[in-house]
């Protein structure tokens, strides 16, 4: 039997990440390799110069192929950037069959009806995720197919994007001679990589602290409730340190990753760091701690605002799960707990055996996990009404 391979690509502000997995006979995933390449042509998680990004993708593919001996043709890719946004919408249709049995076609039609709201010219819907169906006024239905009714309604969270962002992402991937198996909103990828069904049922938020962006996905009663991406991330901390200490970016990045910590403004030691030319640079760890705390506090305050909009500030029993490169900042979970007034933990890959324990890779691994779950829901019923496709299959017409 032909081996089934899945390849995921996460285009980040700081780095591009790829994960290659084999689908095992028992249906599980075996990670064959995870590779990373510095990013180029990407600003705040959005491809702005596709030709540059394409070169880095091609180089990433070479690395991945060398590592795994797999020929890579097709990738599942995530789309991020602060122009991604969620819209809550409602759809209503009359059930078409004379006997009143709700069919897959009715579900497709009601999902379509829920996506007929107006967007500005350069915006489009990436995917609509149903949160419930309403069957003749009966709310909270998850599986309407086969039920009898006159009227079928649905509530969806539609994830929308700025069309040129998708166009540039697609151009970069195609230019690197890859085909696109599907596009996933990046906050969802991270969530699929980490969350248990129980956490999603209880109510949980996933926060991915990337370099240029911080993303939020909120789930409740197993369903997606909200998505937001803030245009601020761990790279802003580096900038702040560079400005605060009047030093170059690379030195600031070293200070952040080697000495940085949240809750670090209490210390008062002077620290020394050796420079490439053999000299040493001395700085106050208390001052650096203060700079980091101010920026991280700002990020959590913005996240709190998003939670407040949902009425979920301090109100998520499943707590907050953090990932992304910024999650490596020591004491970030303790800091977040204080700021968000919620239980907080650093995420880990759900049900995957991988040597890659780095939280920065949970997004790309989640692309694989989500895709597998999507494939698993093979029954037409489930696919059409519950998952509605983790993966957005790109229309062929979109590809030049």
Ligand X SMILES: Nc1ncnc2c1ncn2[C@@H]1O[C@H](COP(=O)(O)OP(=O)(O)OP(=O)(O)O)[C@@H](O)[C@H]1O
Binding site for ligand X (CB under 6 A): 12-15, 39, 45, 80, 210-213, 233-235, 238, 253, 256-257, 260, 324-326, 328-329, 360
Which residues are CB-neighbours of 178 under 8 A, at least 6 positions away? 9, 57, 61, 72, 73, 74, 75
Residue with Cβ nearer Mg ion (210 or 260) = 210
Tell me the three-class secondary structure of 224-259, residue by residue.
EEEEEEECCCHHHHHHHHHHHHCCCHHHHHHHHHHH
The single residue listed with the structure tokens 């926060």 is 207
Structure tokens, 181: 């198996």
Are the C-beta atoms of 47 and 393 separated by less than 8 Å? no
Among 374, 372, 367, CA closest to 19: 367
Q: With both helix axes pointing from N to C terminus, report the angle between 249-259 and 285-309 in degrees, rounded to the nearest 10.
A: 80
Interatomic CA distance for residues 320 and 317, integer angstroms: 9
- Please state the closest distance from residue 77 (CB atom) to ligand X, in A: 13
Q: Does 366 bind Mg ion (CB under 5 A)?
A: no
Q: Does 347 bind Mg ion (CB under 5 A)?
A: no
Interatomic CA distance for residues 267 and 39, integer angstroms: 34
Residue with Cβ nearer Mg ion (110 or 230) = 230
Q: Phi first, then psi: give them for residue 106, nearest 5 degrees.
A: -65, -40
- Please state the closest distance from residue 357 (CB atom) to ligand X, in A: 13
Residue with Cβ nearer ligand X (153 or 235) = 235
Tell me how far apart the terminal alpha carbons of the chain are, to the nearest angstrom: 33
Q: Does 12 bind Mg ion (CB under 5 A)?
A: yes
Q: Does 326 bind Mg ion (CB under 5 A)?
A: no
Residue with Cβ nearer ligand X (328 or 337) = 328
- Please state the closest distance from residue 275 (CB atom) to Mg ion, in A: 29
Q: Does 81 bind Mg ion (CB under 5 A)?
A: no
Interatomic CA distance for residues 345 and 195, integer angstroms: 12
Residue among 193, 210, 264, 359 that touches Mg ion (CB under 5 A): 210
Residues 211-250 as x/- pattern, contact with Mg ion by CB under 5 A: ----------------------------------------
Residue with Cβ nearer ligand X (210 or 318) = 210
Q: Which residue's Cβ has the minimum distance to ligand X?
A: 325
- Please state the closest distance from residue 161 (CB atom) to Mg ion, in A: 16
Binding residues for Mg ion, rule: CB under 5 A, are 12, 210
């Amino acid at each position: 039997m032909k081996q089934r391979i899945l390849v995921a690509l996460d285009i980040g502000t700081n780095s591009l990440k790829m994960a290659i997995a084999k689908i095992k006979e028992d249906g599980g995933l075996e990670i064959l390799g995870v590779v990373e390449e510095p990013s180029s042509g990407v600003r705040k998680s959005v491809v702005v110069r596709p030709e540059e990004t394409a070169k880095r993708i091609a180089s990433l593919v070479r690395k991945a192929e060398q590592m795994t001996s797999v020929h890579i043709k097709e990738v599942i890719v995530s789309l991020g950037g602060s122009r991604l946004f969620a819209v809550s919408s409602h759809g209503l249709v009359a059930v078409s069959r004379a006997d009143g049995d709700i069919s897959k076609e009715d579900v497709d039609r009601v999902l379509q009806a829920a996506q007929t709201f107006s967007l500005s010219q350069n915006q489009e819907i990436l995917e609509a995720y149903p949160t419930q169906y309403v069957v003749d006024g009966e709310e909270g239905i998850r599986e309407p197919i086969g039920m009898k009714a006159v009227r079928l309604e649905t509530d969806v969270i539609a994830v929308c994007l700025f069309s040129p962002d998708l166009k540039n992402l697609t151009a970069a991937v195609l230019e690197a001679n890859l085909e696109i198996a599907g596009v996933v909103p990046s906050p969802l990828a991270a969530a699929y990589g980490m969350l248990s069904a129980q956490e999603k049922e209880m109510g949980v938020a996933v926060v991915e602290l990337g370099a240029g962006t911080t993303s939020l996905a909120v789930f409740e009663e197993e369903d997606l409730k909200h998505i937001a991406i803030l245009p601020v991330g761990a790279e802003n901390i580096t900038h702040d340190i560079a400005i605060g200490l009047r030093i170059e970016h690379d030195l600031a990045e070293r200070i952040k990753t080697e000495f940085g910590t949240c809750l670090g403004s209490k210390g008062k030691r002077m620290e020394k760091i050796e420079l490439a030319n053999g000299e040493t640079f001395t700085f106050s760890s208390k001052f650096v701690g203060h700079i980091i705390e101010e920026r991280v506090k700002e990020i959590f305050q913005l996240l709190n605002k998003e939670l407040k909009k949902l009425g979920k500030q301090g109100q998520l029993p499943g707590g907050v799960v953090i990932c992304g490169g910024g999650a490596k900042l020591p004491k970030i979970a303790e800091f977040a707990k204080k700021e968000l007034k919620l239980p907080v933990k650093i995420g880990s890959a759900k049900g995957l055996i991988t040597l890659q324990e780095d939280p920065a890779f949970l997004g790309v691994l989640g692309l694989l996990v989500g895709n597998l779950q999507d494939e698993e829901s093979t029954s037409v019923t489930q696919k059409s009404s519950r998952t509605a496709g983790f993966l957005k299959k790109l229309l062929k017409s979109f590809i030049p």
